[in-house]
Amino acid sequence: MTDIMQSITERDPVEKEFHQAVDEVINSVKPVLDRHPEYRQAAVLARITEPERVILFRVPWMDDEEQVHVNRGFRVEMNSAIGPYKGGLRFHPSVNLGIMKFLAFEQVFKNALTTLAMGGGKGGSDFNPKGKSDSEMMRFCQSFMAELYRHIGPNTDVPAGDIGVGAREIGFLFGMYKKLKNEFTGVLTGKSLNWGGSLIRPEATGYGSVYFAVEMLAVKRQTLKGKTCLVSGSGNVAQYTTEKIIELGGKVLTLSDSSGYIYDEEGIDSEKLASIQKLKNIQRGRISEYADEYPNAVYTEAEPSPDYNPLWNHKADCAFPSATENEINKKDAQNLVKNGVKLVSEGANMPSTAEAVDIFLDKKLLYAPGKAANAGGVAVSGLEMAQNSMRLNWPMEEVDNRLKIIMRSIHKTCLDAAEEYGQPGNYVIGANIAGFVKVVNAMLDQGLV
């Protein structure tokens, strides 16, 4: 173990997801530090792994039965070397400081890769949105923002959505911010269209992950047409990943939620996807209901502590993990390889364990880590900020074209950096090095702050 890794694990021993994310970056950038002694001299690793600021706060709220609850709110402002802190808010019972720090750390490099001026941050709460009424969601969001508002701003820190935070929650959060600050600014992204949102932002993460896959396939002179795809999750990222795969002639076989997954041998077409979007976004139902509507589909319930996830054990060409961290373990990676999967594009953040990543790299899959493949979401958030600053809205084609250009540029940046450091085709090394060098150079320019 490196000295820096040892000191991080000793200082915060329980933050295992943060250790995992940091360990990967440290291993990737070792040759960069060897080439640049000035980076070691300036202790860049110790500085880049310590958040600039962590805000931790109480979120009290009342349910519809007038019971009082207390949740914990977080905002990790990780790095502002290249722009205001930027990154989503996650509402999920698993949220803790270690998960917030891992997500904020990944966000720093991801945002650097987008070419836009955004630093990295992440926030959220251990609040569980499942089964809550609209009024409960509103009261929770208002209480959350009643504290967060004093720490954020359009030039300071600009939150957005993530797991459990979509258009409805961004609306409630924005409304409270506006009331408290008495100003209408682009302090959040993922806003609705008629009050400052950008076209293509809802689609951007999923579309971007598929655009990245298209770029990787193009290197091998292939396309998505006719390719079978396993997609996990059924939220924002999974839905728009599925939409774009269908549009480009691929076939999506699976979708999931935390209760289980569906396998549809005939493929999920546009009509079926529209019914999933209604089920998930409006009725807030479970993916199992898909199998009631389309009886040819098979629903498999998730096991409480599975050795492997059967979703990843089907014959297919491509995999698009789009649910959550560490959803692909070593056994799942082995199953994917065994079943002929040649491409993995990570819509989710860190969905593959370190052992799974090693297998993908060892077997020379086209493997795109989340910080490259899912950067389209935050990239279009950056475009939403730009439109807010100009007080105008770009048409759909313009935003979608810019998204394509950004994903193409991230792909090339990763390949070039990997090549420069003698690891051709290794998108993990490429993404980590390119993001790291950009942020570290900015930090050095700005002195010891």
Interface segment toward ligand NDP; rule CB under 6 A; list 7-15, 76-84, 255-263, 288-296: 255-263
Among the residue ranges 61-69, 131-139, 157-165, 218-226, the one whose residues contact ligand NDP (CB under 6 A): 157-165
SS (H, E, C) the chain: CCHHHHHHHHHCCCCHHHHHHHHHHHHHHHHHHHHCHHHHHCCHHHHHCCCCEEEEEEEEEECCCCCEEEEEEEEEEEECCCCCEEEEEEECCCCCHHHHHHHHHHHHHHHHHCCCCCCEEEEEECCCCCCCCHHHHHHHHHHHHHHHHHHCECCCEEEECECCECHHHHHHHHHHHHHHHCCCCCCCCCCCHHHCCCCCHHHHHHHHHHHHHHHHHHHCCCCCCCCEEEECCCCHHHHHHHHHHHHCCCEEEEEEECCEEEECCCCCCHHHHHHHHHHHHHCCCCCHHHHHHCCCCEEEECCCCCCCCHHHCCCCCEEECCCCCCCECHHHHHHHHHCCCCEEECCCCCCECHHHHHHHHHCCCEEECHHHHCHHHHHHHHHHHHHHHHCCCCCHHHHHHHHHHHHHHHHHHHHHHHHHCCCCCCHHHHHHHHHHHHHHHHHHHCCCC
Q: Which residue is nearest to ligand NDP (CB)?
A: 235
Residue 186, contacted partner among ligand 2IT, ligand NDP, none, CB below 5-8 A by kind: none
Using CB under 6 A as the binding rule, whether residue 119 contacts ligand NDP is answered as: no
- x/- binding map, residues 357-386, to ligand NDP, per CB under 6 A? -----------------x--x---------
Q: Which is nearer to ligand 2IT, 330 or 404 (CB)?
A: 404
Is 46:3 a contact under the CB 8 Å cutoff?
Answer: no
Supply the minimum distance, in Å, between the C-beta of residue 410 and ligand NDP. 13
Q: Phi/psi at 350 (nearest 5 deg)? A: 50, 50
Out of 159, 347, 430, 435, the only residue in the binding site for ligand NDP (CB under 6 A) is 347
Q: Which is nearer to ligand NDP, 223 or 259 (CB)?
A: 259
**CB 74 to ligand 2IT: min, Å:** 14
> Identity (one letter) of the amino acid at 270?
S
| Of positions 73, 121, 124, 161, contacts ligand NDP by CB under 6 A | 161
- Identify whether 122 is a catalytic site residue: yes
Site track 288-327 with ligand NDP (rule: CB under 6 A), x = hit: ----------------------------------xxx---
Minimum separation from the CB atom of position 189 to ligand 2IT (A):
5
Q: Determine, following the binding rule CB under 6 A, whether residue 273 of this chain makes contact with ligand NDP.
A: no
Q: How far is the CB of 403 from ligand 2IT (least distance, A)?
A: 12
Least distance CB 96 / ligand NDP (angstroms): 13
Number of residues that bind ligand NDP (CB under 6 A): 23
Nearer to ligand 2IT, 250 or 347 (CB): 347
The binding site for ligand 2IT (CB under 6 A) comprises 86-88, 107, 110, 160, 162, 189, 349, 377-378, 381
Q: Which of ligand NDP, ligand 2IT, none does residue 164 bind to, with CB < 5 to 8 Å depending on kind?
A: ligand NDP
Other C-beta atoms lying within 10 Å of the C-beta of residue 372: 30
113 binds, among ligand NDP, ligand 2IT, none (CB under 5 to 8 A by kind): none
> CA 251 to CA 269: how far, in whole Å?
8
CA atoms within 13 A on the CB side of 235: 18
Instruction: Give yes or no for residue 349 binding ligand NDP (CB under 6 A).
Output: yes
In the complex, minimum distance from the CB of residue 89 to ligand 2IT, in angstroms, rounded to a whole number: 8
Is 114 a binding residue for ligand NDP by CB under 6 A? The answer is no
The yes or no reply on residue 243 touching ligand NDP (CB under 6 A) is no
Task: Produce one character per residue of 171-185: b if its CB has 16 or more CB atoms within 10 Å, e if not.
Answer: bbbbebbbeeeeeeb
> Residue 48 or residue 163: which is nearer to ligand NDP going by CB?
163
Q: Which does 86 bind (CB under 5 to 8 A by kind): ligand NDP, ligand 2IT, none?
A: ligand 2IT
List the single partner that 121 binds among ligand NDP, ligand 2IT, none, CB under 5 to 8 Å by kind: none
Please give the residue ranges that form the binding site for ligand NDP (CB under 6 A).
Answer: 161-164, 166, 205, 233-238, 257-259, 322-324, 347-349, 374, 377
- Catalytic residue numbers read 122
